């Protein structure tokens, strides 16, 4: 084995320039894999973590009836119907037995917390500025136990909402768009009845998710019920689980047991999950292309070595080297490139990530951040190294196999 490695190393050093270029290709591919995986997964994990923390894992809500033939089937048991015009059945947007649902699932061993909401759309007015907003009525204690709302509040004043029901928490982007930069300001909300309410801003919500921070308004559920003239009503129940992977199972279970629509976070964020899937496909395609190019470089170098060393290969076979020994010699040459490139690529990837973490830039899109959001998982370094070695092995195997098939007599007869 030692002599095989010695010969592989000698062949590697004989073609310094080509070996360096091939190794550089592996370094670039490995580093690119580590950096791009860290950036893409860092962004996706941050978004899902914050979105699930603030929205929960499963939502129970009222879903309007969508069966167009329902009224016909009450009078005709059989038949094929074609409905030309249909007005959805008007149902009260209210979960009637919400207290029972809350009590029941708070006792579930897999449930962290259950928070009832009253959700409505409205227009917030400050001075001459008007902004559409999503109003969410909450019980502060249940919201804190379930979704840890205080974690995302700038001034941590959720307790004040219990004492002053005319207080509100504004999404920080919404507040800034209205021109509000400090607490204590009064905003105006016009109820559907036409009555005008003055509410005091006590805190700002800063989740880092742009869509939430520019639209969400929290206030005490009792106050929102009074404003909307919906005393004692709730139209959404948010459940947070110990394991978010159970969300789809619990959504089906809750739909069957409560009679209301239960939606898992996977369904709620399916559009974002589709985007994330496309991001991963693009990232994988780019990395695959880089490693494929470096693989062809390795293939070319070893193939040229095999063709140039036909006479040496014939001598080795005449000395008693088996075909397996020759395959091992040339695959080892490829593995040397892969191992050196993989190690150097890991080092390069690590320092690139260190550098990216020091860059402070304003990032605003789906999420907001002061710089790159990176996932510094060791697994990316490990996978990058494995892919580098595997690519090098595959690229070198065919030339090595060709070398093992040379016949000494034919090589010497042809002049090698």
When pLDDT is averaged across residues 303-315 and rounded to a whole number, the result is 71
State percent of the chain over pLDDT 90.
32
pLDDT, residue 200, reads 94
Reading the block at residue 309, the tokens are 């060393």
**For 218-245, what is each residue's pLDDT tens digit?**
999 999 999 988 888 999 999 999 998 8
**For 51-85, what is each residue's pLDDT tens digit?**
888 889 999 998 765 555 555 555 565 666 566 66
pLDDT, residue 104, reads 92
Residue 136: is its pLDDT beyond 60? yes
Other beta carbons within 10 angstroms of residue 226's beta carbon come to 16
Question: Looking at per-residue confidence, does 303 or 58 come out higher?
Answer: 58
When pLDDT is averaged across residues 288-303 and rounded to a whole number, the result is 80
pLDDT, residue 74, reads 55
Least confident piece of the model among 48-57, 66-75, 273-282, 312-321 = 66-75
- The top-scoring range by mean pLDDT among 21-30, 57-66, 68-77, 354-363 is 21-30
Contact 302, 330 (CB under 8 A): yes
- The top-scoring range by mean pLDDT among 10-14, 141-145, 408-412 is 141-145
**In the chain, domain spans:** 2-51+272-414, 56-264
pLDDT, residue 347, reads 95
pLDDT, residue 201, reads 94
Report the relative pairing of strands 196-205 and 111-126 from DSSP bridges.
unpaired
pLDDT, residue 391, reads 87
When pLDDT is averaged across residues 327-356 and rounded to a whole number, the result is 89
For 319-327, the CB contacts below 8 A with 24+ separation are 323/404, 323/405, 324/404, 325/4, 326/400, 326/403, 326/404, 327/397, 327/400, 327/401, 327/403, 327/404
DSSP 5-19: HHHHHHHHHHTHHHH
pLDDT, residue 376, reads 87
Q: What is the pTM of this model?
A: 0.72
Write out 17-41 in H/E/C secondary structure: HHHHHHHHHHHHHHHHHHHHHHHHH
The SS3 assignment for 134 reads: strand
pLDDT, residue 404, reads 73
Least confident piece of the model among 6-15, 92-101, 166-175 = 6-15
Confidence tier at 387 by pLDDT (50, 70, 90): confident
Find, among 281, 283, 252, 280, the residue nearest to 266 by Cα: 252
When pLDDT is averaged across residues 292-310 and rounded to a whole number, the result is 76
Return the DSSP state at 127.
T
pLDDT, residue 196, reads 86
**For 165-222, what is each residue's pLDDT tens digit?**
899 999 999 999 999 999 999 999 887 777 888 999 999 999 888 888 999 999 999 9
pLDDT, residue 138, reads 93
Residue 87: is its pLDDT beyond 60? no
Question: Looking at per-residue confidence, does 157 or 14 come out higher?
Answer: 157
CA distances from 367 to 37, 171, 179, 181, 355 (A): 18, 14, 21, 20, 21
Confidence tier at 147 by pLDDT (50, 70, 90): confident
pLDDT, residue 92, reads 60
Conformational region of residue 259, where left means phi above 0, alpha means psi within -120 to 50, and beta covers everything else: left
Mean pLDDT of the chain: 83
């Amino acid at each position: 084995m030692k002599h095989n490695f010695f010969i592989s190393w000698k062949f590697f050093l004989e073609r310094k320039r080509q070996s360096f270029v091939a190794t550089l290709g592996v370094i670039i591919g490995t580093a690119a894999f580590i950096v791009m995986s860290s950036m893409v997964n860092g962004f996706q994990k941050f978004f899902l973590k914050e979105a699930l923390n603030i929205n929960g894992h499963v939502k129970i809500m009222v879903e309007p009836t969508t069966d167009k033939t329902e009224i016909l089937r009450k009078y005709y048991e059989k038949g094929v119907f074609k409905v030309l015009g249909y007005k959805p059945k008007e149902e009260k947007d209210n979960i009637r037995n919400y207290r029972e649902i809350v009590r029941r699932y708070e006792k579930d061993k897999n449930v962290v917390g259950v928070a009832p909401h009253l959700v409505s759309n409205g227009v917030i007015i400050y001075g001459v500025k008007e902004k559409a907003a999503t109003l969410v009525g909450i019980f502060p204690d249940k919201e804190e136990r379930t979704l840890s709302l205080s974690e995302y509040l700038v001034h941590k004043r959720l307790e004040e909402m219990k004492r002053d029901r005319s207080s509100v928490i504004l999404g920080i982007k919404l507040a800034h768009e209205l021109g509000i930069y400090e607490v204590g300001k009064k905003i105006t909300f016009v109820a559907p009845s036409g009555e005008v309410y003055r509410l005091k801003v006590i805190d700002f919500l800063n989740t880092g998710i742009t869509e939430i921070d520019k639209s969400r308004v929290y206030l005490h559920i009792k106050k929102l019920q009074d404003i909307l003239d919906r005393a004692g009503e709730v139209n959404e129940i948010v459940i947070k689980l110990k394991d978010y992977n159970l969300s789809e199972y619990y959504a089906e279970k809750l739909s069957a047991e409560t009679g209301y629509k239960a939606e898992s976070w996977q369904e709620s964020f399916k559009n974002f999950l589709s985007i994330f899937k496309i991001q991963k496909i693009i990232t994988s395609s780019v990395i695959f292309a880089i490693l494929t190019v470096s693989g062809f470089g390795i293939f070319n170098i070893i193939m040229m070595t095999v063709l140039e060393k036909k006479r040496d290969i014939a001598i080795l076979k005449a000395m008693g080297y088996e075909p397996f020994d020759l395959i091992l010699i040339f695959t080892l040459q490829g593995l040397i490139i892969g191992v050196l490139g993989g190690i150097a690529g890991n080092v390069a990837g690590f320092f690139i990530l260190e550098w990216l973490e020091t860059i402070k830039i304003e990032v605003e899109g789906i999420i907001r951040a002061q710089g790159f959001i990176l996932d510094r998982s060791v697994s990316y370094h490990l996978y990058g190294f494995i892919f580098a070695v595997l690519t090098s092995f595959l690229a070198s195997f065919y030339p090595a196999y060709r070398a093992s098939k040379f016949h000494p007599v034919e090589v010497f007869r042809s002049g090698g």
